[in-house]
Chain A
Amino acid sequence: MITKETVGRVAKVARLNLTEEELEKFSHELSSIMEAFEELKKAKAGKEPAFHPIVLRDSVRADIAEHCLTEDKALQNAEQKEGKFIKGPRAV
């Protein structure tokens, strides 16, 4: 059972504001979903976790500057900005 309190705690970590109704609804839904997912505990498993479906090699390249976005393009989608800076909430 995932209680309303647990949903609230998870929502806070995930930076979501939930209404009382949503807390109630998600508590029920998540409980039934996670209950079904309990089957996973009995499932046959490999020894090592498969983080990817295929074996990947580290991908590296020479440390040489390459073409990247211009300042204008990098800023074109930010609505809150001042000059060449993106404006955010106060940090301190």
Chain B
Amino acid sequence: MWIKEAQELDKKYNIFITLAEKAEGKFPLAVKDNICTDGLRTTAGSKILHNYIPPFDATVVQRLKAVGAAVVGKTAMDEFGFGTFSVNCAYKVPKNPLNTDRSCGGSSGGSAAYIAASKHAKFALGQSTGGSISCPAAFCGVVGLTPTYGLVSRYGLIDYGNSLDKIGLLAKTVEDAAFALGIIAGHDPKDSTSLPLERRGYAKHCIPQDLKIGVPKEYFESVETGVEKAVWVAIKKLEAEGIEYREVSLPSTKSALFSYYIIAMCEASTNLAKYCGLRYGLSENPEGRSFNEYFSSVRTKGFGQEVKRRILMGTFARMAGYREAYYLKALKVRANVIAEFKRVLKSVDVLAAPTMPMIAPRFSEIASLTPLQHYTSDVLTVPANLAGLPQISVPCGKSEGMPVGLHFIGNHLAENKIISAGWFAEKIFGGKHG
């Protein structure tokens, strides 16, 4: 039943890169294709891993299987997560189930589309480096939960940027996301960046609390009018229900974007150095070739244009003579961004802002964007990701008939606060609990 539905949805919306042959368990689970699944092809959306069958499960998959998850398939994504709209795909480009002329967002686009369209699934696994859970959640009208960096094990995740990657959830409701977080969160000795915290439940925090909300004024610059209106209506609705808000300022928002891209590209170019056509993935006959000739040939054939672009930029920014100006400076700017968030989050419990500056764009609109315009689309999701803060995107209204996401951002490990805010907002905005 779950596989049949997944096959049907895949035909309509290009949701999966690989579908499982059978799925037996207590509930269906779709997994972003950069998270390893034992015996089920995992490509990270790249041709260079077109034949990679992991011999192990990622810790998150193992934990979910232990409570009855049946993996139905591996979801479509931008190659290695490099994208905002799930169009940098080496396989099929997923479509938004609410309007197939529009993007479902990226890079966890397939997981968000699956949750939006499935009648059976309550949550799916996604992953965010700079906003890849929140963005597709907003575009597809579902809930997206990105945990604090280090709360959820990255073991078995195909790296993009080690200091930025977080595995999280796309879900039908805030409660579904909170329930799943309780299963996947908690220390894992196999991930050296995993925080030494016991596993615990989060769903019990789904009760309205006396929350103080901060609305960062910089998060409304360059936002589409329809999105801005929908978000303000939502904030006013919360206010009418007794949730206070006040304006706050995060002046480093724009510099966070540049800091993020430099760090992400530097880390990505280092991580992707391991794809050399030997132990796994795309390979060629090595006879009569030098090492460098062989590596270069395999990598040139296996990587798409956006991957090459980011490897080039990351390699450039790490080269002698540029490292200080770009990479080290970006890391220092990040320290300031974290300090700025911490300062503001002393006076409010959570921040509330539009998740994305636009509704899901049409594919025809995306086609005319330059690479830089793609990157600047992430300006609202990147700062919290750069700082490793937890975030939840909740549908809060519509613009031009497409969903708009309201983003709640909390302090490190304040998942309970963003979940409470999200749950209450969902209830007020007429979500599943409404």
Interface residues of A (CB under 8 A from B): 2, 6-7, 10-11, 13-18, 22, 26, 29-30, 32-34, 36-37, 39-41, 43-54, 56-57, 59, 61, 69, 73-74, 76-80, 86-91
Tell me the residues in window 197-220 of chain B with beta carbons closer than 8 Å to chain A beta carbons.
none
User: In the assembled complex, which residues on chain B have CB atoms less than 8 Å from the CB atom of A56?
Assistant: 150, 192-193
A1 nearest CB across to chain B (Å): 13
Q: Is the CB of B316 within 8 A of A2?
A: yes
State in angstroms the CA–CA spacing of A53 and B326 once bound together.
18
Q: A10-B315, A44-B252, A46-B336 are in contact. Are A89 and B371 (CB under 8 A)?
A: no
Contact with A along B248-267 (1 / 0, CB 8 A): 00011011001101100000
Contact of A88 among B294, B313, B388 (CB under 8 A): B294
Contact of B296 among A16, A22, A45 (CB under 8 A): A16
A75 nearest CB across to chain B (Å): 8
Contact with A along B383-397 (1 / 0, CB 8 A): 000111100000000
Determine whether B25 belongs to the interface, using a CB cutoff of 8 Å to chain A: no
A25 nearest CB across to chain B (Å): 9
User: In the assembled complex, which residues on chain A have CB atoms less than 8 Å from the CB atom of B297?
Assistant: 17
Q: Is the CB of A7 within 8 A of B312?
A: yes
Contact of B335 among A6, A18, A49, A59 (CB under 8 A): A49
Q: A54-B388, A89-B291 are in contact. Are A16 and B311 (CB under 8 A)?
A: yes
Q: Please name the residue on chain A nearest to B376 by beta carbon.
A: A36
Q: Is the CB of B296 within 8 A of A40?
A: no
Q: Is the CB of B388 within 8 A of A13?
A: no
Q: Is the CB of A80 within 8 A of B285?
A: yes
User: In the assembled complex, which residues on chain A have CB atoms less than 8 Å from the CB atom of B51?
Assistant: 77, 79
A88 nearest CB across to chain B (Å): 5
User: In the assembled complex, which residues on chain A have CB atoms less than 8 Å from the CB atom of B283?
Assistant: 78-80
User: In the assembled complex, which residues on chain B have CB atoms less than 8 Å from the CB atom of A88?
Assistant: 278, 286, 291, 294
A79 nearest CB across to chain B (Å): 5
Q: A45-B336, A78-B280 are in contact. Are A6 and B316 (CB under 8 A)?
A: yes
Determine whether B368 belongs to the interface, using a CB cutoff of 8 Å to chain A: no
B340 nearest CB across to chain A (Å): 9
Interface SS of chain A: helix, strand, loop or mixed? loop
User: In the assembled complex, which residues on chain B have CB atoms less than 8 Å from the CB atom of A2?
Assistant: 316
Contact of B55 among A45, A47, A76, A91 (CB under 8 A): A76
State in angstroms the CA–CA spacing of A84 and B278 once bound together.
13
State in angstroms the CA–CA spacing of A73 and B290 once bound together.
27
State in angstroms the CA–CA spacing of A77 and B313 once bound together.
30
User: In the assembled complex, which residues on chain B have CB atoms less than 8 Å from the CB atom of A43?
Assistant: 252, 255, 258-259, 329, 333, 336
Q: Please name the residue on chain A nearest to B166 by beta carbon.
A: A53
Determine whether B84 belongs to the interface, using a CB cutoff of 8 Å to chain A: no
Contact with A along B359-387 (1 / 0, CB 8 A): 00000000000111001000000000011
Q: Is the CB of A86 within 8 A of B279?
A: yes
Q: Please name the residue on chain B nearest to A7 by beta carbon.
A: B312
Q: A33-B375, A88-B291 are in contact. Are A44 and B149 (CB under 8 A)?
A: no
Q: Is the CB of B53 within 8 A of A76?
A: yes
User: In the assembled complex, which residues on chain B have CB atoms less than 8 Å from the CB atom of A14?
Assistant: 269, 273, 299, 311-312, 315
Determine whether B67 belongs to the interface, using a CB cutoff of 8 Å to chain A: no
Q: Please name the residue on chain B nearest to A70 by beta carbon.
A: B55
Q: Is the CB of A17 within 8 A of B296?
A: yes
Q: Is the CB of A53 within 8 A of B386?
A: yes
Q: A53-B149, A59-B189 are in contact. Are A13 and B315 (CB under 8 A)?
A: yes
Determine whether B412 belongs to the interface, using a CB cutoff of 8 Å to chain A: yes
Q: Is the CB of B262 within 8 A of A37?
A: yes
Please name the 7 residue pairs, one residue from A and one from B, whose CB atoms are nearest each other, closest first. Answer: A53-B388, A46-B335, A49-B331, A43-B255, A77-B280, A45-B332, A73-B55
Q: Please name the residue on chain B nearest to A59 by beta carbon.
A: B192
Contact with A along B290-312 (1 / 0, CB 8 A): 11111111011001000011011
User: In the assembled complex, which residues on chain A have CB atoms less than 8 Å from the CB atom of B259?
Assistant: 40, 43
Q: Is the CB of A36 within 8 A of B309?
A: no
User: In the assembled complex, which residues on chain A have CB atoms less than 8 Å from the CB atom of B329?
Assistant: 40-41, 43, 45
Q: Is the CB of B193 within 8 A of A15?
A: no
B364 nearest CB across to chain A (Å): 21
Q: A10-B319, A43-B255, A76-B53 are in contact. Are A30 and B313 (CB under 8 A)?
A: yes
